[in-house]
Amino acid sequence: MRIGDLAAVTGASARSLRYYEEQGLLASERSAGGQRHYPDSAVERVTLIQSLLAAGLSSSTIRDVLPCITEEAIRTPWLAERLRAELSRVEDQIDSLHRTRTVLAGLVEHYTV
């Protein structure tokens, strides 16, 4: 399937799909005319990439963990450890945002006329 078709099916922009390729997250073959062609399995892979990005993982982290997620034969305890570390990082960010919100809410209350 061509890049426009994959974009339409997954909701990812063509620009995002090219970025995923640049980051080593997605692969395509090129036609003689240079057009990208993706296997049908790319739909599932893009959906997974989008889910991991939505979970707050960086593209470099996704590149590290994606093989372990998609290939059960190479899955090790390292994957769970890495995902726990990412969860901890996100929880720290949430705590920081809660503190920021508390300060900002106090400022709004103090300076509201």
- Give me the percent of the chain exceeding a pLDDT of 90: 93
The reported pLDDT for the residue numbered 63 is 96
Please tell me the distance from the alpha carbon of residue 26 to that of residue 9, in angstroms, as a whole number: 15
Instruction: For residue 29, give the amino acid letter.
Output: E
Dihedral, 86, 88, 93, 99 alpha carbons, nearest 10: 180
Mean pLDDT of 25-45: 95
Task: For residue range 46-79, list pLDDT tens digits in order.
Answer: 999 999 999 999 999 999 999 999 998 999 999 9
Which own/partner contact pairs does 12-19 have at CB distance under 8 Å and 24+ positions apart? 12/46, 12/50, 17/46, 19/59
Task: For residue range 94-112, list pLDDT tens digits in order.
Answer: 999 999 999 999 999 999 9
User: To which residue do tokens 């980051």 refer?
Assistant: 23
pLDDT at 113 over 90: no
* Tokens standing for residue 105: 């809410």
The reported pLDDT for the residue numbered 23 is 96
Residues paired with residue 30 on neighbouring β-strands, in sequence order: 36
